[in-house]
Amino acid sequence: MPNIRARLLVVLVVLFGSPTVTGTPSATAATAVPDTLWFDGTPLTVSNGRFTDGQGRTVVLRGYNVSGETKLEENHGLPFASVAEARKSATALRALGGGNSVRFLLSWAHAEPVRGQVDTAYLAAVTDQMRAFLDAGIRVYPDFHQDLYSRYLFDRDSWYSGDGAPKWAVDAGGYPDEFCGICPFWGQNITQNGAVKAAQYDFWHNAHGLQDAFLATAQQAMTYIRQHLSAEEFASIVGFDPYNEPYAGTYEAGRTSRTWERDLLWPFYGKFRARMDAAGWQDKPALVEPNLFWNANIDSQKQVGGLLDAGTLGPRYVFNTHFYDQKAVSGILMWGKAADGQYTTDFGTIRDRASAASTAAVVSEFGHPLSGMVSDKAPTVLKAMYQALDSRLPGASWWSNPAGSGPVLSGSQWQWDLYNGRHHELMNDNPGKVLTSGDAWNEEDLSAVRLDDWGVVILRQDARLLDRLYPSATSGTPVAFTYEDRSRDGSTTLTWNPVPGSLPNVARLVGSGQYGLLLWRSGGGTAPTELHLPASFPTATTTVVSDLGTAHGPPAYTGTTPIAAAPEPGGTGSRRLLLTAADSGVLHYALVTNGATAPSTDLLNDAQSELAAWTAAHF
């Protein structure tokens, strides 16, 4: 694309919003970061219980898992068939899904197919696909993924499959023939399948040197990734998730879930941390997961855990957990749909555990099936989960108690799979069981996207739900945040947090549109506070009411403009709102809405006065 056309595209995006993502992204999007501003591109660290960038801003990571395709064999344990498709996915994830980060899945089985021999061709392909996301301005945290320990535990005609460990690791254990009994859900294999339980037990006890082999491979993989990314690219690697959904397999006599975490899981994380340091990742945190069942919302599944005996995790570790509503997934234990505040208690527990451990938190998996008998719950379940990431309060009580909102959580939805519904997976290498539908893995179907017949990336969920306003970088400390996405359940618009009648001018300004409200205390830095602007917030029709001023159609960013808009890094067409306040310790607020049509100066001023009085009354 000639330079003048590239500049014109950036101007149009700033003025009118994000373009539709079709086909393969342009060379500009794939290779350069033409819209980087002076405060972009710094590594993240963990400080005072939050992710912070090089400007000291509080960073919130939002995005998706890329992807369940890694669990399959059709693309040899890679998320994508090619780098070009990785680039297409990254562009769409940024422009359509609003993500600024991904949890990037890796396969131990493909990294070390022969014991003691790391496959550098696999690592090279992984690194090239990872680079496609880094080039799109998306931060990455890799994850060595496993489910049910390994696909090689399962018979060719089994109902289920796994992923993770290589065949040689399974052969070393000599495990019994796998059998789950009456297991309508694949996850029941974790606690009911004797082969899976025995293999998990062996890994955590380092039987046959399995854990040592995994750690050695992990170190070599991390070393390769660091050496084959530029310093600028490596700066956008957040950290590493050592092991997906750890579980003991079987508890020894006298051992509990809590003592298993203390005596076996936490020492493993210490060893992995040492491997990170040796590989040159010493400045990046390990994103460590507790016992899989520590926060299950079915009482019979819940187990005591959460790394309670690990002490202060501090800046070298992040508290990393998953959350699925198993009651809703069961179709029996929750008959109706999710409602306002459905998961505020569950996600509040995550906030509290991270705070007690003096570290940041990330919900690295959450989601709900998009087909099958419980798929009708998905619009409300996902809305309630995103609501709980944004705030620990239901919408009904947010305006009356904003100080109880709590920190905004980082999260990665499961999942972002281009090949949804178009797979060609030989289940357990059985040519008589070719899986094509859904995610092609244990009858799951959770991908937010798919490709249409022309190869265009399209969303399978409401864009209002996925492409969200959120504070991606706050100059100082967020105090409270809420976002009313007005997403839909069928033809019904879900409004769980309407502007109260006590703020009539704010309510009039918002109307039936979407809105977000951020309150933050400034930290003295000169870099602005950033909020991601969804595609539903075209710059020309976005309205901001803040103590910093008011704006309808905020102008392009300059260092002296308190309220402005700019492209997000990566050249994908995504945009951000930038709010600059160089003071320190001052409470600021900003309401952002797409509901106003040519608001008058009087309306903007009246809404500003209402918000100022409301802020003073509650803080």
Question: Three-state SS string across 212-248, please?
Answer: HHHHHHHHHHHHHHHHHCCHHHHHCECCEECCCCCCC
Q: CA–CA separation, 139 vs 239, rounded Å? A: 10
Q: Which residues are CB-contacts of 220 (< 8 A; sequence separation ≥ 6)?
A: 118, 123, 279
> Which fold, 60-468?
TIM Barrel (3.20.20)
Q: How many CA atoms lie within 13 A of 122 on its CB side?
A: 24
Element (H, E) at 355: helix 344-356
Report helix, strand and coil shares of the chain as percent, to nearest 5. Answer: 35, 20, 45
Task: Compute the distance between CA of residue 183 and CA of residue 110 in angstroms, rounded to an integer.
Answer: 28
The answer to whether the CB of 22 falls within 8 A of the CB of 456 is yes
Closest CA relative to residue 345, chosen from 329, 325, 364, 359: 325
Q: Which phi and psi angles does 504 have, rounded to 5°?
A: -65, -35
**Helix or strand (DSSP H, E) at 610:** helix 601-618
- For residue 284, the model assigns a pLDDT of 98
Torsion angle (degrees, nearest 10) of CA 29, 30, 35, 36? 160
C-alpha to C-alpha distance for 3 and 571, rounded to whole angstroms:
13
Q: What is the pLDDT of residue 559?
A: 85
Question: Residue 11 to residues 15, 16, 147, 557: CA-CA distances in angstroms?
Answer: 6, 9, 45, 12
Structure tokens at 377: 């719950």
Q: Where do the structural domains in the chain lie, given as residue ranges? A: 60-468, 472-618
- Taking the whole predicted model, whether its pTM rises above 0.85 is answered as yes
| Confidence at residue 5, expressed as pLDDT on a 0 to 100 scale | 32
**What pLDDT sits at residue 35?**
80
The β-bridge partners of 590 are: 518, 546
Which structure tokens are listed for 318?
């992040």
Give the pLDDT of residue 16: 38
* Eight-state DSSP code of residue 263: I
| Among 610, 590, 340, residue whose Cα is nearest residue 500 | 610
* Residue among 175, 212, 166 nearest 194 (CA): 175
- Residues contacting residue 272 through CB under 8 Å, at least 6 positions apart: 215, 218, 240, 242, 243, 286
State the maximum Cα–Cα separation within the chain, in Å, rounded to a whole number: 77
Q: Quick count: other Cβ atoms within 10 Å of Cβ 519?
A: 22
Strand, coil or helix: 517: strand
Cis geometry, peptide bond prior to residue 67 (ω within 30 degrees of 0):
yes
Which sign does the torsion angle of CA 29, 32, 35, 38 carry? positive
Give the 3-state secondary structure of residue 381.
Answer: helix
Residues of the chain short of pLDDT 70, as ranges, are 1-34
Alpha carbon of 537 to those of 492, 514, 570, 596: distances in Å? 21, 9, 19, 11
Count of CB atoms situated within 10 Å of the CB of 196: 27
How many angstroms separate the CA atoms of 234 and 140, rounded? 9
Which amino acid, 331? G
Distances (CA, A) of 441 to 150, 160, 445, 481: 13, 8, 8, 36
Distance CA 407, CA 49 (A): 10
Report how far residue 234's alpha carbon sits from residue 228's, in angstroms, rounded to the nearest whole number. 9
| Angstrom distances, CA of residue 512 to CA of 506, 594, 610 | 12, 9, 19
Provide the β-strand partners of residue 551.
544
Q: Report the distance separating Cα 238 and Cα 285, nearest Å.
A: 7
The token duo for 585 is 């310790």
CA distances from 564 to 461, 492, 525, 568, 575 (A): 30, 33, 17, 13, 11
- Give the pLDDT confidence score for residue 4 in this predicted structure: 31
Q: What is the pLDDT of residue 413?
A: 98
Question: E strand or H helix at 330, and its extent?
Answer: helix 326-330
